[in-house]
Structure 1
């Protein structure tokens, strides 16, 4: 029964009206800019590992017998943790912005 009521609710939402709202478009633009930027940083740094692994700069020994490749690889783990933490913190503000867009839609008579 819960499935039937959620279908009725979904059918009553005017998605075209939400898409036409300036606040929605601004929200989507900010979110996409953030997501594509963080994804680009992540991919570029990961793709650079196999490219730089055979370059002289990462073949040098940094600590004892540990070369720059190992240091760079460890840095990728740290980068992943940092990017995930940044995303989790930023997602809370995205949730608030999405709720504000829905509240505006409902204030304008949307259901």
Structure 2
């Protein structure tokens, strides 16, 4: 997309050359590791709710008539906000890393 916004012809990019670059592969591995780990964390905690909801530990009253299930559920909303915030901040660094890979490609004679 960066090439389109700059008015360059996207057909002139040699994607196999970019894919062969070590910096690109490191970038993709780092990004995928982050994305898959944050997704696994989210899904694990989210899927545990229906599993733990009927367990005695979450059926206990915490404050008044509020049980652990409600506290856990509220925690999922907080977790979602936190993970989204972390992703947005991390995405900025991924954008910079992608721009560095593209700059390296162009420095090596890429178009």
TM-score in terms of structure 2 length: 0.93
Partners of 1:12 and 1:97 lie apart in 2 by 21
Shift of 1:87: 0.2
Could you tell me which runs of 5 or more consecutive residues in structure 2 were left unpaired when the two chains were aligned.
none
Aligned residue number for residue 11 of structure 1: 11
Aligned residue number for residue 92 of structure 2: 92
User: What do the CA deviations read for 1:61-89 (whole angstroms, capped 9, x no partner)?
Assistant: 00000000000000000000000000000
Report SS of the residue matched to 1:69. Answer: helix
**Ranges of 4+ aligned residues in structure 1 off by more than 3 Å:** none
Shift of 1:58: 0.2
Task: Please say if 1:108 is aligned against 2:111.
Answer: no
Task: Please say if 1:80 is aligned against 2:80.
Answer: yes
Aligned residue number for residue 46 of structure 1: 46
Partners of 1:64 and 1:99 lie apart in 2 by 53
RMSD: 1.2
Could you tell me which runs of 5 or more consecutive residues in structure 1 were left unpaired when the two chains were aligned.
none
Aligned residue number for residue 60 of structure 1: 60
Q: How many residues align?
A: 106
